[in-house]
A and B are shown apart, each in its own frame.
Chain A
């Protein structure tokens, strides 16, 4: 087969067991990665994707010493007889929590760190060249703590590329970045792959990126590859993927509905549009989520003429919000969207009373936040941080959930805590420290903390970020059930699927102003707005838009109603 013509990585009968573990993490793995390939490693949680990739640069078995059997060779070099340092010149690794990978104070120093350690005379040229390639030369003198998430990821990538590796491994770029930024990272990776011939290996949960960018796909399950196939064949087997917790991208799932069993599914939006066009109905009957009529639109919070800004390190006042007027009502599920720096977090903090505006007023339930402390306002508002670990202040999940109601001597605090823990499904884990839970469990624990505060206004910052697809669905279902207990919920998010499926109202913030205040469907139907605020509508919505369906279906489920059933489609095709 020509595909394995020039393997850069060869794994033969590899098994690996972490020290002290009960069973092997990698089980008899054999695979080859061709030079110049763009490989996506996919698989459910605990399928050993990361462990596999750490054998490529020798972290396994040299840093993680365990039982190692079989062989891995990289560029002809057996990794067992090599060192992490030597292998790192061939295989660069960008970690999932890439922020912790940055070890030097400035960007320039960070990128030149590797080449300097290895004593490369041309370290300065390598640094400049790499920054240039990734289009981040303007950041060279920035301090790493000033970088946004997307920029920090590019810097981590640059620091790896400066060693001129022939292979780079990128562990879950989408986990910590919003989709629009993650797409930029992928575009860079494609560039490196096509222009510079670098072999790219990504570990990825989001099949949408896999379909669009990868050339081949390795599906891992339980410590061994199920198959390694070219991307088209891999996506044709979307049922296999789904079985292993990787839901098919909308383009794949929708095109599969109108195709025969042996046809190639669509990998991207434009192909999906071509395939769907002959079958689709141009009209869509939206079933809008009605606002609960019983609440009579009671006012929960209101902002009048709010101006706020922060001092920068240089001392100048950097304005964040401009003359903002906003009312939040009972029964609303509000999504707050916009780029980083648009003012989302500032708005949330103003609503909690942690900060007060420089001008204008913020009222929560008729109380001016200037007249109460944040501690007192917490009776009405609760705020859930983006990073769950920052909310674990006590030794166990139960104590964290109980902290607010027992601290304030609420009546029936114990029952409330038990009830909330059951509701988020954390009863069996309630005595554990929150930090030891999985990402999805951590997020549910923070929601429990918020619910136990019985707020009338619940604020959530990026509740679905860095979750795998299944945990994300869990959290989304939980948010959907909030409306019965919380009067008004505001979610700041980059997750457009969440906006499409959960929100009843969307506020688009752009440079400190409300660019648009409407329902999700109207927002996604206005490309000029989504473009300006750099929002990437869900794939299904993009397909629907290109097909010219009105009003725009936002999710795959909605778009499906515009398509004939599978059999009908095939009959039509045959005629």
Chain B
């Protein structure tokens, strides 16, 4: 098969999708909001499905979750993984329930659980895709999370693209220097195994390299007053001074709240519980 440059479903595409997701480059509704309000919005939508067993309400919330995923411009990689995860979960449950002598009833009960998890996952996707690292760390700081956690989150984001690049480079090196299996094997299992081994062992050099590199980072943090700030809260106040809840933020949260209430109201009117 002739090789060609692919723009989707290639290593490069995964890399770009990760960055777009982590750095909220697509914008969207929630990306324009104050990060603390985004977290509040998230708690609201993620908690709601756990308050009921009413399938009507859950379907309503599911639709709301799906709409927020669209409004937040969630990328194809994350969305694809979510759909893949949800469908394989359903198929697995289906198989398992029949294997253990269950029937349609068991499956319906499990479907309710899946709906709840689905709503929560979609809320998570919408919220965290809209928070770039600075916003997320400011929000955590504002909510009195430990300084180190807030910093760790933003530092993790700063390192992510570099680690991804490094990983790809090491993986390329392995491709070039290791020998491919002589025959592909049944369904290409040898090739799959070869790639699996490479993708796991590629982590090893990266960890060693990173361990070496962070020595400078730790010294640099010291020189730039990171530990000083831990004892002097003035920096925190200054850093968070820019956070401001605007009418738009309140409107989005209130609208969501109204829609959740609406879903519950419809649920009361047309209740649908699992039969049995």
Listed in ascending order, the chain A residues whose CB lies under 8 Å from chain B are: 57, 59, 63, 83-85, 88, 92-93, 95, 97, 100-106, 109, 113-114, 116-121, 123, 143-145, 159, 163, 308, 310-311, 313-314, 352, 354-358, 369-371, 373-376, 378, 382-383, 385, 389-393, 403-404, 407-409, 433, 435, 449, 453
Asked if A370 contacts B3 (CB within 8 A), the reply is: yes
Chain B residues with Cβ under 8 A from A383's Cβ? 176
In the bound complex, CA of A351 to CA of B9 (Å): 23
B183 sits at the interface (CB 8 A): no
Contact partner, B222, options A63, A145, A356, A373, Cβ 8 Å: A63
Using CB atoms, name the residue of chain A closest to B239. A116
- Which of B47-55, B85-93, B107-115, B206-214 participates in binding chain A? B206-214
Give the interface size bracket for B toward A: 35 or more
B158 sits at the interface (CB 8 A): yes
18 additional A-B pairs beyond A88-B222, A311-B7, A358-B5, beta carbons within 8 Å, are: A83-B228, A88-B223, A92-B223, A97-B216, A100-B213, A100-B217, A103-B155, A104-B154, A105-B23, A118-B228, A119-B238, A123-B238, A144-B158, A145-B162, A313-B20, A375-B179, A393-B201, A407-B177
Shortest CB-to-CB span from B4 to chain A, Å, is 6
Asked if B238 contacts A374 (CB within 8 A), the reply is: no
Contact partner, B179, options A120, A163, A408, Cβ 8 Å: A408
Q: How many A-B residue pairs have CB under 8 A?
A: 174
B169 sits at the interface (CB 8 A): yes
Asked if A435 contacts B170 (CB within 8 A), the reply is: no
Query: Quick one: given A84-B222, A370-B2, A378-B176, are A105 and B205 in contact (CB under 8 Å)?
Result: no
Shortest CB-to-CB span from B226 to chain A, Å, is 6
Contact partner, B176, options A120, A144, A145, A374, Cβ 8 Å: A374
Give 14 CB contacts A-B under 8 Å. Answer: A84-B222, A88-B225, A93-B223, A97-B213, A100-B217, A101-B217, A105-B157, A106-B134, A119-B232, A310-B12, A354-B176, A373-B175, A373-B180, A433-B208
Contact partner, B19, options A117, A313, A375, Cβ 8 Å: A313
Asked if A95 contacts B222 (CB within 8 A), the reply is: no
Query: Quick one: given A88-B225, A373-B180, A435-B209, are A145 and B220 in contact (CB under 8 Å)?
Result: no
Chain A residues with Cβ under 8 A from B97's Cβ? none
Chain A residues with Cβ under 8 A from B255's Cβ? none
Asked if B180 contacts A95 (CB within 8 A), the reply is: no
Asked if A119 contacts B180 (CB within 8 A), the reply is: no
Asked if A145 contacts B161 (CB within 8 A), the reply is: yes
B224 sits at the interface (CB 8 A): yes
Shortest CB-to-CB span from A570 to chain B, Å, is 50
Using CB atoms, name the residue of chain B closest to A392. B205
